[in-house]
Structure 1
Amino acid sequence: MKITELLITELDHEAIGSRKALEHVPEGKNDWKPHDRSMPLGRLATIVATTPGWIEMVVNMDEIDINPPGGPKFAPQPWKTRQDLLQQLEASLQKGKEILRNTTDDRLFNTKWRMLSAGKPMMEQSRYEAIREGVINHMAHHRGQLTVYLRLTGETVPAIYGPSADEGKS
């Protein structure tokens, strides 16, 4: 089996948990955050919804500067409803899977990808490592943060990898 196929399987598996979390995101609280240094709920939910699409950058670009001169070029699509978020997730997931279908294991393992901040290298790794760490693991990390936000806003927390304290309660 090709590594690209394994990555697609893993994306599909992780999308189940992301879908569950996004289905519980409260509407109308996009600016809410648990602490001054925390990111707003709307931005965090957007990251969870759009992370699979980042595979396109890793496969098709040699590097990305997350803090470029003049500010970031990426502006996430705003959302108002959970349905908007779920649509973003599905579009992002399909985009990431399509990119993987159209690349090769050789490209993933034998070409490097770099992340910069203000022109300074933060990391350089194989594209495979960048997908595993910077996309799939990163999505799980932010989804975990999102479940904490759900708890703090009084929403129920869905089961992701195992039971949730909210399962079976009405």
Structure 2
Amino acid sequence: MDEKALFVGFWTNESQTTRKVLSRIPEGSTYKPDPKSRTAHDIAWQIVCEEKMLIEAMESGVAEWAPPPLPATMAEVLASYDAQSAGLPERWAALPNERWTGTMDFFGSIRPAAPMAWSFLFDIVHHRGQISTYLRPMGSTVPQIYGPSADEP
């Protein structure tokens, strides 16, 4: 298995787990653990926007960060995630090898593309982890992520 195929497999599995975590964010919650922190709703939207930015940067060779405004509801965030995620494994698989092994313009800095893809995948997993720590204080439950949770043994 080549590195890109390995990445596509990880991406696909991680996005399914991310969807489970996002689906547990209670509608209307404004919980944040600290005044400097963002809400789970805000972080969820960042994940949606990062995933979109990354695949577009890998396809075009140029990263552009211009996220649309935060949707008013978590239902809208989740619907956006679902719509976007549906086609991402195919887009990753169809990405030409020269894009994967090439470079991208990352906000004025030329970077190797494949390591940037892995880095963003790990960043998305990190933000998903932030959200998972918010779930119980928001009155929700934590799904299984890499194994059982207290809520899903």
Partners of 2:13 and 2:48 in 1: CA distance: 14
**Contact 2:58–2:113 (CA under 8 A) maintained in structure 1:** yes
Structure 1 residue runs without a partner (length 5+):
67-72
Q: 1:2 offset after TM fit, Å?
A: 4.6
Paired with 2:10 and 2:72, the residues of 1 have a C-alpha distance of 26
Q: What are the equivalent positions in structure 2 for 1:111-126 lying under 5 Å apart?
A: 111-116=102-107, 121=109, 124-126=110-112
Inter-CA distance 95–126: structure 2 relative to 1 (3 Å threshold): farther
* Whole-angstrom CA distance in 1 between matches of 2:20 and 2:72: 17
TM-score (norm 1): 0.75
Contact 1:63–1:114 (8 Å) recurs in 2: yes
The aligned residue for residue 47 of structure 1 is: 46
Per the TM alignment, residue 21 of structure 1 is displaced from its structure 2 partner at its CA by 0.6
Greater helix share, 1 or 2?
A: 2
The percentage of counterpart residues that share the same residue type is 26
Structure 1 residue 77 displacement after superposition = 5.3
Residues in 2 aligned to 1:76 and 1:100: alpha-carbon distance in whole angstroms: 26
Alpha-carbon distance in 2 for matches of 1:89, 1:5: 22
Aligned residues: 153
Consecutive unaligned residues in structure 2, runs of 5 or more: none
Larger Rg over CA atoms: 1
After TM superposition, the runs of 4+ consecutive aligned structure 1 residues lying more than 4 A away are none
Corresponding residue of 1:86:
78
Residue 129 in structure 1 maps to residue 122 in structure 2: no
Paired residue type of 1:152: P
Q: TM-score, normalised by structure 2?
A: 0.82
SS at match of 1:152: coil
**Which aligned pairs between 1:59-78 and structure 2 lie closer than 5 A?**
59-64=58-63, 66=65, 73-76=66-69, 78=71
CA RMSD of aligned residues (A): 2.4
One-letter code of the match for 1:97? Answer: P
Match of 1:78, as an amino acid? Answer: P
